[in-house]
Amino acid sequence: MKSRSHHNTLNLALASVLGIVATSPVWADTTTAPKPANPAALFQSYDQNGDKQVTLEEFSAQGGQESTFKTGDANADGNLSVNEFAKIMASNKGDKSSKFISDALITAKVKAMLLKDDSIKGLDVNVDTHQGMVQLSGTVASPAQLVDAGRLAASVEGVRSVRNDLQIKAPS
């Protein structure tokens, strides 16, 4: 009976996590930073060295995806001209919405893994993800749980790094 009750509780918890993620505002582009009014101004913000070309490094530093850069680099010279850059922005909206969806899915997967693990109290662990970087916060009962939570988070596909800010609960 205990096993069935635990299974039902786990299913309810997973459904809740997925429901929160699905209705969360992270599915929309909620950035509040002012956006340049035209593609040329946006291009200048990406062109960090002012050479009138955007390199892959400059594009990635602003959150752009390598695959998007390569698709937009029509002449395959390893740089984006103003025109190539404008085409990317017009067709892809700069990858922002796909990053938010990816981060939300990573968060849901990590939280689900933590909830499934019997040795970790998943409900006491908060998970935040930004550009593939997962931050764990909250409390666990032991140093082993702290390490296990970090290991589980790192094992999820799409996680680029884990910042483990979990605290060990003082015994009561």
Instruction: Give me the chain's average pLDDT, please.
Output: 76
- Does the pLDDT of residue 48 top 50, yes or no? yes
- Give φ, ψ of 168 to 5 degrees: -90, 125
The pLDDT of residue 39 = 61
Structure tokens of 2?
């205990």
90-115 tens-digit pLDDT: 765 544 545 555 888 888 899 988 98
Domain range annotation of the chain: 2-20+98-166, 39-95
- Answer yes or no: CATH 1.10.238.10 is held by domain 39-95: yes
Q: Could you write out the three-class secondary structure of 128-152?
A: EEECCEEEEEEEECCHHHHHHHHHH
Q: Residue 102: enclosing H or E segment and its boundaries?
A: helix 96-116
80: Cα separation from own chain's centroid: 25
